[in-house]
Amino acid sequence: MKRSDVALVFYSMKNNRYSINVLVAALEKDDRTPVDVYVVDERRQITLLNTLQRLRSLYKKIVLAISFLTTQLPFIEKLVDMVKKFLPDILVIAGGPHATGDPLGTITRLKFDYAAIGEGEETIRELAMALANNSPLEDVCGIAYYDKSLDKVVINKRSTLVNLNDYPPFPYWRGRFNPIEIMRGCPWACKYCQVSFMFKAKPRYRDVDVVEYYSRIMLREGLRDLRFIAPDSFAYMSADGRKPNPSAIEELLERLHKLVQRYKGRIFYGTFPSEVRPNSVDYELARIVRKYVANKSIIIGAQTGSDRLLKLINRGHTVDNIIHAAEALIKAGFRVDVDFIFGLPGETREDIEDTLKVIEKLVRIGARIHAHTFMPLPGTPFADAPPGRLEPWLRKRLYLLLGRGFLYGDWLKQEREAEMIDWYRRAGIIFTGKSLSMNTRIRYCGKQ
């Protein structure tokens, strides 16, 4: 039912549906949303255009919000061009990891009118209020926009961090669910990863009571599997995000275990869509987790088997940590999948040979390898690095592991995506480094 003169339309796709759910939940959490909210789930682009066209006859102002990853650039570029061509009066706002990492290219090259930067819960609420009151969006904290007088993109950078307890993890009243985010922020700042630079280094947590509350809602609504989002599942409620807090993890899992027993549900922890860091794992913690969870496997983020390269990419752990973590998890009764990234900046033939030796050792003790190719992502220290490429001899070695059933992954697809990102960067559609800093201006806003 129409209540407002403004319609805010979210385009929900496979790669952004969790983010869209979080934003919709933030907007509607207290039932005082000043705009009417619509979610268009991914279908053909014509479905989105038809929805926008229909809403134009009902509302004075239509705003389309699209959250996306850098790997989605070809699709997003075509989509925005089409919206601008057929519906030029509609305001288009970007969000998500790519917009946060490259607000300049998002606005000046991809033709978005505005970009939402970083955490979105508070920004989307302020944005909705400004739209409803017909106030300048340039005053919204967390928004980036082009300032003609400066000939720069201005970033209203939010100074405060979101308290996860203040917002629902999903809009359950719409029947929309996703894994519950229990931790946000990562203190490690690995040079290839956007998490620390998008969500900051200070870790924040959803309290056990809050996680239990939303888990109960999911189970009551008929869902049976509880899954969680965290940069490191074994760092939940850690004082610094580094040293594990086993008692807090056990309290969480014990309470959830009692809950799922009542509803005949299951707990999945330390697996998709999260993983664990090698230096967070010891046998006692692994044994605690194994008591309560349904997943038989856990994912370890190793990334390379070279101690030299681990230091270069700022991982904060050693090769020994990787081996010890795998051994502890296997001893506790888990199968172990281990992530490795090939083509990292600075990687040498010697580093790769070291990694392959570690992989063979992991395979011998019962682990399985998840292979990736490095992609230079905007907003990271490695944003200007060349795309990851796998030499023919390395491909052959990986195929041998694949044929033996010891390795899996989308490393070939990621290699193509890395080349695509590099092409967009060379074409001046993605901005990084000095070019990005020279053409943007940061204004800090929110509570200092």
| Angle at CA of residue 102, ends 105 and 231, nearest 5° | 155
State both tokens at 119. 């955490």
Q: Is 49:88 a contact under the CB 8 Å cutoff?
A: no
Q: How far is CA 218 from the centre of its chain?
A: 22
Q: Which portions of the chain are predicted below pLDDT 70?
A: 1, 43-44, 447-448
Rg of the chain (C-alpha set): 22
CA distances from 69 to 51, 202, 339, 421 (A): 23, 23, 20, 11
Query: To which CATH superfamily is domain 6-161 assigned?
Result: Cobalamin-binding domain (3.40.50.280)
Residue 361: per-residue pLDDT: 98
3-state secondary structure of 406: coil
Q: For residue 436, what is the enclosing H or E element?
A: helix 433-438
Q: Is 290:336 a contact under the CB 8 Å cutoff?
A: no
Q: How far is CA 312 from the centre of its chain?
A: 23
Q: Is 64:52 a contact under the CB 8 Å cutoff?
A: yes
Alpha helices in 109-263 (DSSP H): 121-132, 195-199, 208-220, 246-263
Residue 200: per-residue pLDDT: 76
Phi-psi region of 245 (alpha: psi -120 to 50; beta: other; left: phi over 0): beta
The domain defined by 177-430 carries CATH number 3.40.50.300: no
Per residue in 305-319, pLDDT tens?
999 999 999 999 999
Residue 359: per-residue pLDDT: 98
65 has which bridge partners? Answer: 10, 93
Residues of the chain with CATH 3.40.50.280: 6-161
Residues of the chain with CATH 3.20.20.70: 177-430
Residue 1: per-residue pLDDT: 63
Residue 196: per-residue pLDDT: 82
- Count H helices and E strands in the chain, helices first: 16, 18
> ω into residue 187 within 30 of 0, thus cis?
no
Q: List the 440-445 sheet strands across, edge first.
A: 36-41, 6-12, 61-67, 91-95, 114-116, 143-147, 152-158, 440-445
DSSP 175: T
CA distances from 124 to 114, 135, 228 (A): 12, 14, 23
